[in-house]
Amino acid sequence: MVPEEWPIAPPAVRADNPARRAGRGRLPVVRQDFFLDPAKRLTEQERALMTAMLADLVGTIADELAASLTATVGAANDEDGHQLLLQLSAAGQLDHRDLISLLLRRADEERITGAMRARSGGHPAFLQALVADSDSSIAGAAMALILARGARRDRLGQPQLHFDDLPPTLAADLSYRIAAALRSRLVPPLSTDQADRQLAAAAERLLMRQSPGKGTSELTRGLASVLHAAGKLGEPVIKAAAEEGDVSFVAEALAELAGVSGADAWDRLVDGGEGRLMLLFRMAGISRALAAGMLGMLGDLIGIDHPGAEITRFDAIGDSEAERVRLAMQLDPAYHEALAALGTSDGQRSF
């Protein structure tokens, strides 16, 4: 179990009156919610954590935009990130696949890391050991990642998302939507044209300051890359990271060794049943002993209930199959979609 309880409901979604409205206006949402697969629904802890991270991110972007406006104009200070989150959510402005995927990934990382550290009872030492590496590029990359992760904790130790963690297209999308939500909060009020120009310019300035290379995913990928280049991205490093529940690094390390994207490796790590994770292990050249050990450590946390069956699948995967899937994953999805549409697919895109 995670060592501390997550909040059950964040302030943004807690009703003033505990009694729920019973109007028929809820019926469409209730019908959808009632038939959702319980195994795939968010837990209350996941929902609370994702909501808190998103509210913090929205509030931070709003503050940055407001600070960039002219000296005589400022955003009203009686609204916070949670209220902006409610306004934007009600208008359907935050239902972005990449945004929700990023929030869910952070929640999964927090859940798995917390559970693994609770089991071991130890303190994280994997990255600290790399800081002492004789190779300055490895030591520097490890320190940069440690500092970035530390900066993504609030004063209570809860995880946060930073603007630099967003893909550039998502950063732009969010910035302009939040800028639009601020227009009615400008003090003193401006004409529509003046407000639009100032807020658009503020969003552009904010986007110019974004540094995606300082995002934690990019820094984790960079550490895996320098370790690989130095010939030090071996099984002991991956095993040490797995023992601490550092699944973000494990995914990037496997991606580096397999020659696939970090996003693909992450998907296979957290949804690895029916041979998906075993195929990634094969592509990365992971030994059977480490594959079995990682299943024992992480299996129940990533939804693999029958590790023995997965090891059997690992044994059945040949080098040719692993190479075929590696090539397929390196190609653009549009290429595969076109092959299928043209009727020239080989029918083997089951990866």
269 or 15, higher pLDDT: 269
pLDDT given at position 151? 95
Query: What number is the average pLDDT over the span 307-313?
Result: 93
Cα separation values, 225 from 144, 215, 277, Å: 14, 15, 21
Q: Name the pLDDT band for 1 (thresholds 50, 70, 90).
A: very low
Summarised one tens digit per residue, pLDDT across range 73-104 is 555 554 578 999 999 999 999 999 999 999 99
pLDDT for residue 51 is more than 70: yes
pTM equals: 0.86
Residues 287 and 281: beta-carbon distance below 8 Å? no
In this structure, of 4-13, 44-53, 139-148, 185-194, the range with the lowest mean pLDDT score is 4-13
The pLDDT mean for the chain works out to 87
Summarised one tens digit per residue, pLDDT across range 203-242 is 999 999 999 999 999 999 999 999 999 999 999 999 999 9
Using the CB atoms, write b or e for 31-70: b if 16+ within 10 Å. Answer: eeeeeeeeeeeeeebbbbbbbbbbbbbbbbbbebbbebbe
Report the SS3 class of residue 153. strand
Summarised one tens digit per residue, pLDDT across range 141-179 is 999 999 999 999 999 999 999 999 999 999 999 999 999
Q: Name the pLDDT band for 291 (thresholds 50, 70, 90).
A: very high
pLDDT given at position 346? 56
In this structure, of 38-42, 158-162, 256-260, 306-310, the range with the lowest mean pLDDT score is 38-42
pLDDT given at position 20? 58
